[in-house]
Amino acid sequence: MSKPSPQRLHLVFGGELVSASRSEFKDVNAIHIVGIYPNYATAYSAWKAEAQRTVDDAHMRYFIAHLHRLRDEETPASATEELGS
């Protein structure tokens, strides 16, 4: 019996940035959560639709977060995983 492959969940989200040159949201309470998708292809399709919808606003930006790459906070991290270490 083969082992099932792990889920590769992806979150698509975006919103208005403080500056077009930085990835800092102007208002984190206004972040648009587009959805969570079971694979990169469907996440990319959702991201592309939102990016095209807001193409005329240089301060609007959408992102794909690879949820399967997040680590368990209960597991100790190495020094390279901790910011500022």
**pLDDT at site 69:** 78
Per-residue DSSP letter, 29: G
Which of 18-22, 37-41, 56-60, 79-83 shows the lowest per-residue confidence on average (mean pLDDT)? 79-83
Separation CA 4–CA 77 (nearest Å)? 27
Helix (H) or strand (E) holding 41: helix 40-53
Sheet of 32-37, strand order? 32-37, 10-16, 60-66
List, for residues 51-61, the tens digit of each pLDDT value.
Answer: 999 999 999 99
**pLDDT at site 7:** 78
Kindly state the average pLDDT of the residues 12-24. Answer: 94
